[in-house]
């Protein structure tokens, strides 16, 4: 059983949530630590208890976002489902995250490049883990005869993550998204294509 989060952990996560909301709303470059502090209803100086800089806040938001993605992918792999089910589960989770954790996904997608190169290590590490896990999933599916061995697993990873990322360009235009329907259609497009 996981340890209960400490009072500091809860406050820290609230600060990360606030930073995600501010960056998603105003963009990283259009916001300040004062905006984050105001969102938390604390003094700007108190924010430094959680982040020493706006860059550190952005790093925390991006790291929190990618860690959730890695954890979910690990849980999908642990279920040992077919590749079709795994892809649908990944798509469904990512689409649902756009509704439940939109701020994190928007910031990760739009602003992570603003993190200085020397500070990107932990995020890059999680991203490498995510892509490696996904590639392993495709290699395993090829070994089990579920996917064509003519397909490069590395390219499959890029294609699926690109498909997921494409949702950012249009999802906000509709108030309600039928996550299951879109996940099923995206899975069909990815796994079967569009031809009859």
- 122 alpha-carbon distance from chain centroid: 14
Averaged pLDDT score across all residues of the chain? 90
- pLDDT over 90 (residue 166): no
In the chain, pLDDT over 70 holds for what percent of residues? 93
Both tokens assigned to 153: 């697993």
Q: pLDDT tens, 41-65?
A: 999 999 999 999 999 999 999 999 9
| Homologous superfamily (CATH) for 59-192 | Tetracycline Repressor, domain 2 (1.10.357.10)
State the pLDDT confidence band at 1, using cuts at 50, 70 and 90.
Answer: very low
**Per-residue pLDDT, 99:** 80
Model pTM? 0.85
Both tokens assigned to 167: 């949702």
State the pLDDT confidence band at 171, using cuts at 50, 70 and 90.
Answer: low
Q: pLDDT tens, 182-194?
A: 888 899 999 988 6
**Per-residue pLDDT, 100:** 84
State whether residue 69 is helix, strand or coil. helix
Both tokens assigned to 3: 């340890």
**Per-residue pLDDT, 95:** 86
CA 167/CA 188 separation, integer angstroms: 16
CA 187/CA 102 separation, integer angstroms: 21
Q: pLDDT tens, 3-35?
A: 677 888 899 999 999 999 999 999 999 999 999
- CA distances, 127 to each of 25, 58, 134 (Å): 24, 16, 11
**Per-residue pLDDT, 196:** 63
- pLDDT over 70 (residue 174): no
CA 62/CA 106 separation, integer angstroms: 10
């Amino acid at each position: 059983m996981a340890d209960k989060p400490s009072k500091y952990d809860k406050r820290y996560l609230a600060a990360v949530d606030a930073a995600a909301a501010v960056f998603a709303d105003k963009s990283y470059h259009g916001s300040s630590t004062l905006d984050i502090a105001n969102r938390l209803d604390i003094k700007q100086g108190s924010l430094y208890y959680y982040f020493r800089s706006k860059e550190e806040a952005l790093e925390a938001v991006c790291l929190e976002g990618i860690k959730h993605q890695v954890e979910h992918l690990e849980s999908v792999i642990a279920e040992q489902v077919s590749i079709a089910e795994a892809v649908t589960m990944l798509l469904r989770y990512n689409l649902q995250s756009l509704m439940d954790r939109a701020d994190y996904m928007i910031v990760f997608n739009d602003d992570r490049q603003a993190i200085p190169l020397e500070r990107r290590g932990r995020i890059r590490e999680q991203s490498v883990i995510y892509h490696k896990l996904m590639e392993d999933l495709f290699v395993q599916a090829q070994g089990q005869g579920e996917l064509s061995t003519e397909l490069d697993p590395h390219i499959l990873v890029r294609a699926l993550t690109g498909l997921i990322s494409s949702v950012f360009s249009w999802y906000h235009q509709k108030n309600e998204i039928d996550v299951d329907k879109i996940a099923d259609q995206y899975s069909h497009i990815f796994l079967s294509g569009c031809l009859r």
